Structure 1
């Protein structure tokens, strides 16, 4: 309220200054006389009258924002259309329209979200922009800002139209090929999805469709016969649980670790494998479950997660009894003694796969090479994923 009051005072001070300037030009013409002085007065008069009318006519408008994409992943192109309608046809020389950018956007993206138009008598203004390589995260678009003024800047106006929109940009899904364990090589392009590549379900019967069941599981013959959606039931002992343990402490490869965790979980859910997510150093863990709703909950967490440099890692969940019979995927950017010791403490080491993410080959240290050899010798599978090669292929 105080801010609005200050704006009103500033506006009328400018109007008073404009009236004083107009009066001064008239007085100069009256006392000086001659063609030049009257020419200056009459040339200035239209601009002064326009500025006075501009100050008196209120700026009222409504805004509508349309986002072309319904589901975005990091690196996608975001296309936005803004439509602004005003209530009167007063001519505006220029308007500056800005879709107020969230703090989570880069400076270049914030620049793209504003544009100057020259509408004059038009009552509908349209503004479109594109953001390339949009960032992962939860972004909040809050308002549309419109700023305008007269030709010489005597009077300026600005309105802010609230327009809330939450924009979710999910992690980039990487194309990590499914390879058998025997073909592992440290080339940054093969991950150990060996048991995910095998058939995981044997049909044992049918049941009524439940929320979260995959559309591909629907038994259409039984559905047609009974007149309601029926889903296939599978032999549970054929489906192996999967738990992804993610380490978000390495800033250099943080975004890639997030993408790999999301990719593994999405691959598992598509194959009907019950999955869970345990962020190391975070109290928030997702139990082992299946279905699209469970996957969306995990992806939402991975969408909002931030780099965690100050948190002390807890490796106890890696040896927890509830995960002893689950397939474990450990996604990390740095291999340390504490992590290796926790992995050695597992009885079912053949169920463990370590995905070690490095920026490039030269970031792989001698200490890490020694730990990799020890892990392999103990029966733990480990794959090196180099960021510069991994991002060359993505799933769209």
Structure 2
């Protein structure tokens, strides 16, 4: 190991490569979508409509009350918050059936800390959420995938074959899936639950945006004691900055997550503000219908321009295919519109936004594609994905 140069204050300042990292972390980069100061941000699937003034006022009062007791640790198991979340979900759930953490990211990490680990594996269906392999890496869990169909749906027979072959300890099913927006039918989830030797988690982070009539895997909880359904308040609830994710499952499943969680993992302020948001659920979710309509309008507009578009039940659209998707992404950014360069090669993902944001995106994409032959869609080349 090379000697590191002293820092400005006389403290050693090693390079990352000089530190004794775990071998599997060598060369890794921190996860995260670009956070750039641009006029139109459509890259992280946020609800673009902020909370109303009454919600802001009630949240400020709740924070003030929490601050008066901030010299004490918060309620360790967030029982009142979990009861509110159970009430929001319905389906006869109680606080004992619900777990909450700092975003659904921490919820998923708890799942793999409890049910994954060295010598264990987690199976998911690609393409899917890019954080799943990182949860696996961070818990020393082997991550394996089975491919989706060309239209990004799940082939039941293929899923069952993968389960029989891999015998995974955890199966992660995103519905609607990120980055494709694809919802998974309950018949598929049921088949997976019956075949899986371990636990199954259906990640419903975008469920509130699903088209009317799309069922939730919450309906299956009474039948399957090893099934969990995760949600988040970051998307539909316009609460991304609040960092609150949660999971519904049998009480024993929740108890398993309580074993691995850090003490006092949810601050008193987070719990207080999340309860205010849930008390104002109707108002916080008021723009969901508008965002669904914006998504569907955007998908129709893109198809009208000759693009391939994945059917979406989320608040975003995956579209392509491009010979050089990065050039298209960069061209949009140069025009003040930030979307996400993710998913299979040749595809891009754009979040549903306000009418003004949607118009800005359409204008910018038209300019980019009209200006560059490299931005034309790649239909005729029959690219495989």
Is TM-score (shorter-chain normalized) higher than 0.5?
A: no
Structure with greater helix percent = 2
Compare the two structures and name the one with the higher strand fraction: 1
With CA pairs under 8 Å and 6+ residues apart, which has the higher RCO, 1 or 2? 2
> Which TM-score applies when normalising by structure 1?
0.31
